Amino acid sequence: MASQRITPYGGVLKDLIARDAGIRDQLAAEAETLPKIQLTDRQLCDLELIMNGGFSPLSGFFTKEMYDGVVENMRLPDGTLWPIPIYLDVDAEKFNLENDSARQFSTLVAGSRVTLVNPKDNVNLAILTVADTYKTDFNNEALKVYGTTDDLHPAVKYLFTSTNAINVGGEIQAINQVSHQDFIEIRLTPAQTRAHFIENDTDRVVAFQTRNPMHRAHLELTVRAGKKVDAKIFVQPVVGMTKPGDIDYVTRVKVYKMIMEHYDPKDSAFLSLLPLAMRMGGPKEAILHAIIRRNYGATHLIVGRDHAGPGSDKQGNLFYGPYEAQELAAKYESELGITIVPFSMLTYLPEEDRYEEIEKITPGTKTLNISGTELRRRLVTGEEIPNWFSFDNVVAVLREGQRLASEKSN
């Protein structure tokens, strides 16, 4: 059974890892005898956050009732706010169908149990007790959750090209945590980050979400946010699945560690990695980020311009309004249990040698900026990346990452 701990940070945190070694051994032995589902990379990220409490109050993958409530109304059956469905889709051809019209797996009927397996090392991670199996409507999910069926949206493309139509819902019992081979010292669980904040007598924590390398503007933004709300800065970049084409997480983490050296004082900021599979869901993803950061112990979350936005659609328009995420997060702030700190994009003022929020700049003022697309172009061509934009050691790491990526693709 899942245990629950109450701490001063984030309320109840579900812990699905069995503490008793004897129970874990029993589960491990049972897991060997059960049908097995090898997880996809996205499901692996989801399971890790279910098991470690990052997705509290979830204790398993969505049942049909949970799925319908979240897709249609952003609500779990008990009324709790939840923005994006977290489900376990399976390949129907790998299981016998008891009744094709009902789409019920004969080996995965309600009450049966199945082992969830790490695709990277074949380790049994958890046992899921089946509550139900159900079919999903991809078009309805795309429209209700992401607001579009345009496959330039990465979550919509994933939905239509990489998702199976049958889901298996039910609670899980964890056997083994998801193992990682790199950056172990900063891959902390919600319980560990909460403990860190408590041990360091930190009662105000402002979290910063990112899937991109950090540069001078990001450093300035987080410092301003920390001062604005009198809080310690919690840099928590995503190292699960991000937008296709993003800079690889190993290169990015090297950059994040360098950026941490520029905070003054150094203990004003704290770095930990997040194994999230992003959906690039804009406003609803901002809600999910707020829930996750609350669970990790943050009291505040920075929500920026076009937060978790996937870019432009086939007509060249942004999928979401630039401040739509801020507005939705603010609307549900009281329910989320975390304070939203809205920020607009910072741009550089060369004549004053400083950064400023774009909304605060007088029309006609000279500004400089380098977009993500432009940055990637300069990394490829070797063109100069100015010091006002980033730090020399950060640029060196990004150039080396680009070189390795090019060698790998050739």
Q: Which of 263, 211, 185 is nearest to 372 (CA)?
A: 211
Class of residue 111 by CB neighbours under 10 A (exposed 0-12, middle 13-18, buried 19+): exposed
pLDDT on residue 106: 62
pLDDT on residue 18: 62
Count Cβ neighbours within 10 Å for each residue of 332-352 and write b for 16 or more, e otherwise: beeebebbbbbbbebbbbeee
Residue pair 89/102 in contact (Cβ under 8 Å)? The answer is no
Predicted confidence (pLDDT) at residue 180 exceeds the cutoff of 90: yes
Domains in the chain, start-ordered, CATH in brackets?
3-174 (3.10.400.10), 184-409 (3.40.50.620)
| 14-61 confidence digits (pLDDT tens) | 778 766 788 889 999 999 999 999 999 999 999 999 999 999 999 999
Predicted confidence (pLDDT) at residue 383 exceeds the cutoff of 90: yes
pLDDT on residue 95: 59
pLDDT on residue 164: 94
Work out the average pLDDT over 69-73: 98
Class of residue 68 by CB neighbours under 10 A (exposed 0-12, middle 13-18, buried 19+): middle
- Choice between 2 and 340, residue whose per-residue pLDDT is larger: 340
Q: Which of 19-23, 82-86, 160-164, 366-370 has the lowest mean pLDDT?
A: 19-23
Specify the pTM: 0.93
Residue pair 332/321 in contact (Cβ under 8 Å)? The answer is no
pLDDT on residue 406: 81
| 244-254 confidence digits (pLDDT tens) | 889 999 999 99
| 184-226 confidence digits (pLDDT tens) | 999 999 999 999 999 998 999 999 999 999 999 999 999 999 9
Q: Which of 7-11, 304-308, 346-350, 405-409 has the lowest mean pLDDT?
A: 7-11
Question: What confidence category does residue 7 fall into, taking pLDDT thresholds of 50, 70 and 90?
Answer: very low
**Residues noted as catalytic:** 210-212
Averaged pLDDT score across all residues of the chain: 92
